[in-house]
Structure 1
């Protein structure tokens, strides 16, 4: 029906919508805090703090030792002792200077193998769940692949050491690291005191080590290395398990008590050795063992850098993905 003219239609009225409460998002459950990643027995931050504290302690201890050593040199009779025993004695006339090629190669292989042995030994000591296992082809006890690597490196290291010792005596160069006079001991004490005062003895390593160096190399080659070998064999699968009397005479606990401190000795020796190599004339010292010359140039340094790169590559390659194909050639590799 149409509305008459002049009538105004009322605006349409719409009902107001009912008030709607604003939606509140549901609270998400709090995520559990992630456990800090452990590197051995400590977190990364704890290791950094420990290293910083140890470094500060080492610097403080070194400063105290230097001051104490300088004080000792002023005591009555000490200057005369240092004058009588300058730190080294003359070698027999038959001793030849320099380092032959076989000594250079043995030195490099010893460094390379020792670094990997220390790494694999630490892994064996701290591992909780081995990444893989290895079993000999002829049958035998299943061991972790890290222990297989450690024992394999030990065999190579012993072979390298035996070849070095044989050539050392065959060539007559044993006099460089085996004392030939009782004067080695007072001269070693003199050299130690000179090192501690930072007034270091003159380096003549191409011709003759000072007596402290000679005694330390003797300990490394003829005492520490055999100790590491004998204790390592006792803990390995090569040791006869059924030899009751032999096991009673030489128990496993004794081997373990000696083996780990021996490894720590090698670590300390390597660190001090590298420090002194660089602190007492790096280019000449590196040329002695890597370049085979007494010249002062960069040949030995770059050969040393190459040795470090090869060692770092070996460190990186010592992982199950790369080790497994090699280990399979000598036995069976499994994940459990």
Structure 2
């Protein structure tokens, strides 16, 4: 294998508390990779500042001045974690043979990167970092995560359980992924669709060393919903099934009412009528909401707006 270049892409949003130690640790790991894999002799870091309002960009600039292996992209505003990952991969793949993505808090174990490089050298185009436990999660988060993966499987979505956005991808895998033009994108659900040879490395996720999580419950729920609606139309089909069942139930109720009328057993009342009205009304509102979500995503795609805007580049 000819001399290869590896770029580690790190999306960062208000990460001034952890970024200095993250940069030093990843640079040290890259030195380890270079020592263990002579074919991978060129390595660098690419940090994407996702519109931070703290000193994140200043830290990136300082690190770049001290070490030319540290590069940076700065968004003009906050575009979101997925956009930062895409921007990083798009900039990295221009010169890199392989790209590793990892979050700035390093809760995903960066010491597994050398093992990822080994799997890549063995022929894997995509190497997933997969958690082997959820001991650091609360009971609520652990239970909802397991339930979410089960729901996605039932909806026909091919997803690697307990894999977030810690992965290595070859140049051809990244190039193929970037050919997907959609704006409403769920990266961890789209990568398995590429079809290239894959491998996995397992690791134990560690608690965040400093700073706050950028994914509170509200954002986690929104992210989960985006994952479902970006990858499958199963919710719309479920609405069709629910509507069909409601119609069959209505036909049964009409038959029952006619029989009761003929037998003279009709009882006048409004309770059952009101319950039926509220139930049907609720089903209709939920159905309109789900369909509206897909229409809204379709409108976003049709507009074709840029995924992100880069303000500054350190190269």
Whichever structure has more strand as a proportion of its residues is: 2
Same fold (TM over 0.5): no
Q: Greater Rg, structure 1 or structure 2?
A: 1
Please indicate the TM-score interval, normalised by the length of the shorter structure: under 0.3
Structure 2 length normalisation: TM-score? 0.25
